[in-house]
Amino acid sequence: MLRYWRPILLAVFFIIFIVIFVRWTGGQKEAFNPAGFSMEVVASFQNIVTGSALAIENFWRGYFYLVNTQEENKTLRKTLAQFRATNNGLREASLANERLKKLLNFQTSHDLPVIGGQVVAYDPKAWFKTIVINRGKADGLRISMPVVADGGAVGRIVELTAHYARVLLLIDYNSSIDTLVQRTRVRGVLSGKSAQTCELKYVLKHDDLVRGDVLVTSGLGGVFPKGLKLGKVARVRKINHDLFLEVEAAPAVDFDKLEEVLVILKEDSLL
């Protein structure tokens, strides 16, 4: 490595020598002083070396400062990520607490024996609308027990294992629930349409029914207790030469956002 730098150093030294010699002798009548000239050469060379050393030192200082700054930034980013994760966790806990409060209020207002459960899966099949909850036979559940949320009825249990249950949602086309119009006490049967809507069947054309009417369970059929909210009338249509109204209903529960449910345990409390 030294052999590459040697010619460069010699050339620099030679240039410095010439410059100093010219400065020393140019325009001066004094005799040439070897000692003074030597001091000039050495001092100039040391000045260059010192300046180079300072430049290199400043460079390394700047480099290490940048490295330290980069490490500090990494630490700060990691700390910020931890704070964000903690904040998200607290936010989720707060939202879960609000949902559980609503379920508790539902239980208190209806005075029914219930057990809480979490939704752990949705049925991916387009022609069935079911959910799976983390409660089963070991928790005292049985087939056809009603499942509710804070908004109202969700569906009924159709399949059980020791620790899990499959719930048929009221929006499934296999679901049928005897229903009352809360305002007028008109009776019908709420059936699913395999979407986020239902239809209220068997409502006579002359019955009093308007958009916005609240639909509740009638208590008939031995599954759902009386008075649970099912949804609201979304559209009413009269069809010529048809005995019944065509009624579309919007469920009270948002099934896409369903996370916690309650299972009503005693069948004898439904009568």
Angle at 91 between CA 81 and CA 196, to 5 degrees: 120
Same-domain status, 155 and 259: yes
pLDDT by residue for the chain (271 residues), tens digit each?
Answer: 546 556 666 666 666 665 555 555 555 545 545 555 555 555 555 555 555 556 666 666 666 666 677 777 777 677 766 656 665 555 655 555 565 555 666 665 667 788 889 999 987 666 789 999 999 999 999 999 999 998 889 999 999 999 999 999 999 989 999 999 999 999 999 999 877 889 999 999 999 999 999 999 999 988 899 999 999 999 999 888 888 999 999 999 988 888 889 999 865 444 3
Contact 203, 245 (CB under 8 A): yes
Same-domain status, 128 and 245: yes
What tokens does 211 get?
Answer: 């958009």
Question: Is 78 among the domain residues?
Answer: yes
CA–CA distance, 222 with 231 (Å, rounded to integer): 20
CA–CA distance, 100 with 219 (Å, rounded to integer): 26
What tokens does 37 get?
Answer: 């000239």
CA–CA distance, 217 with 34 (Å, rounded to integer): 117
CA–CA distance, 178 with 190 (Å, rounded to integer): 6
Close Cβ partners of 16 (under 8 Å, ≥ 6 residues apart): 41, 44, 45, 48
The pTM score is: 0.62
Domain stop point among 58, 88, 111: 111
Cα–Cα distances (Å) from 47 to 14, 20, 42, 43, 271, in that order, read: 15, 13, 8, 6, 104
Question: Is 205 among the domain residues?
Answer: yes
- Domain of residue 122: give its range: 114-270
Question: Is 29 among the domain residues?
Answer: no
Separation of CA 270 from chain center? 38
What tokens does 207 get?
Answer: 């019955």
Separation of CA 187 from chain center? 41
Residue among 149, 166, 145 at smallest CA distance from 261: 149
Same-domain status, 161 and 90: no
Same-domain status, 229 and 187: yes
Instruction: Give the CATH number for residue 148.
Output: 2.40.10.340
pLDDT for 270: 40
Residue among 201, 187, 198, 185 at smallest CA distance from 153: 198
Domain stop point among 62, 85, 111: 111
Total number of domains constituting the chain? 2
Domain stop point among 71, 94, 111: 111
Same-domain status, 215 and 101: no
Question: Is 13 among the domain residues?
Answer: no
Amino acid identity, residue 227?
Answer: G
